[in-house]
Structure 1
């Protein structure tokens, strides 16, 4: 696992290095097969770690020689799916070629302090896609208090998650913050990694999240971010 970088170290990262932190993401409901094909081509060109898509877009054709992993969301975006359904969705995604699954917790359970239920939900998906397959747990950090973030992160680690992840990018409460990423990393320590997603739109945003402890970034406007620009249309971005 990648350790937290100092601010000076993070600031020294170049675009090619930051690209390897990125899950290049397309989760808009209107996305087409052609859009996903373009996403894959752009990911290969930019050198991002992976692409992240909706499960209905599988299976995909990754060009020979392209070093691009496939991540798929599960229980997205509300998290209000039965654990059995989440587990089945995750298992099908892996069967259809996904390397990683990003699942959404039951946020209401977290708000009610039912962390045992959160852990059981995550554990059901973990059982369906055992290690070394990668499981990321989307906690929707902007909708949680600090205490709830800590409780959910502890539940995620106990259930065997590989990552805790800030946001879907679709919740009205907002997306990733440096504070949330830092708190999540402090909670999980070396037992899991942290993915920042939702509103990571500029190169400076990316560096700040990495400095806070993120080892993966969910980004929809990857080309603009890596060029140092801000996407012109960030509405509904992941």
Structure 2
């Protein structure tokens, strides 16, 4: 995995990562259906101010003008994952053509629940083929909706399909978002070959540090300013 895929924080002076180090792991996220272009422009400005790794937005918000050093992530097959592989692949390819550096795709969670892991792997592989390296591919598995067995199997399928990260959650599923247990299980299964992104419900610096200690190498956060200690949370992710 390249430095562009998994940023390395500045060495810490304490046992816990500092707020600045946590910031460099954050995908500053806005995926609300009612989001406007003005909202996304404000997101980019805030991301630059806070020193986060990237912004994560819906594909119809591209292309974006971002300052040097700020990456652009986009979701794919979001939030249900119930799109055909061909549609996901086309959506991902268009996003990259429009400037996305990273793609966060949603699996067919129902296929994982049924144990159809080969189908899950094929779905991921189709998107990977459409957006080869250096594009970073993250695979959203909705860990809160899966058994431990399925989390492990889908994480392995993601690795076999050539993904760069496994990611806990969309933040929109009623089963919930990231958990320390799921992050640890995913990291034990695929790290260090793949990164692990904790997303959904990570709202405080303490929660972020817990996820990093469990093995998260990236964090999906909408209320980044509040998490880092600079103001109220935006909510919604």
Tell me the TM-score range normalised by the shorter chain.
Answer: over 0.9
Q: Distance in 2 between matches of 1:9 and 1:76?
A: 39
Q: Distance in 1 between matches of 2:59 and 2:158?
A: 22
Segments of 5+ residues of structure 2 without an aligned counterpart are 7-11
TM-superposed deviation, 1:190: 1.8
Q: Does residue 53 of structure 2 align to residue 49 of structure 1?
A: yes
Any idea what SS the aligned residue of 1:190 has? Answer: coil
Q: Distance in 1 between matches of 2:139 and 2:185?
A: 15
Any idea what SS the aligned residue of 2:39 has? Answer: helix
Q: Distance in 2 between matches of 1:229 and 1:53?
A: 21
The aligned residue for residue 5 of structure 1 is none
The aligned residue for residue 12 of structure 1 is 16
TM-score, normalised to structure 1's length? 0.92
1:205 to 204, 207, 222: 207
The aligned residue for residue 189 of structure 2 is 187
1:176 to 175, 178, 201: 178
Q: Distance in 2 between matches of 1:67 and 1:183?
A: 31
The aligned residue for residue 32 of structure 1 is 36
TM-score, normalised to structure 2's length? 0.93
Q: Does residue 79 of structure 2 align to residue 77 of structure 1?
A: yes
Q: Distance in 2 between matches of 1:140 and 1:71?
A: 18
Aligned 8 A contact 1:69 1:99 in 2 = yes
1:117 to 119, 124, 144: 119
Q: Distance in 1 between matches of 2:195 and 2:232?
A: 26
Any idea what SS the aligned residue of 1:78 has? Answer: coil
Q: Distance in 2 between matches of 1:20 and 1:56?
A: 25
Which protein, 1 or 2, shows the higher relative CO under an 8 Å CA cutoff with sep ≥ 6?
1
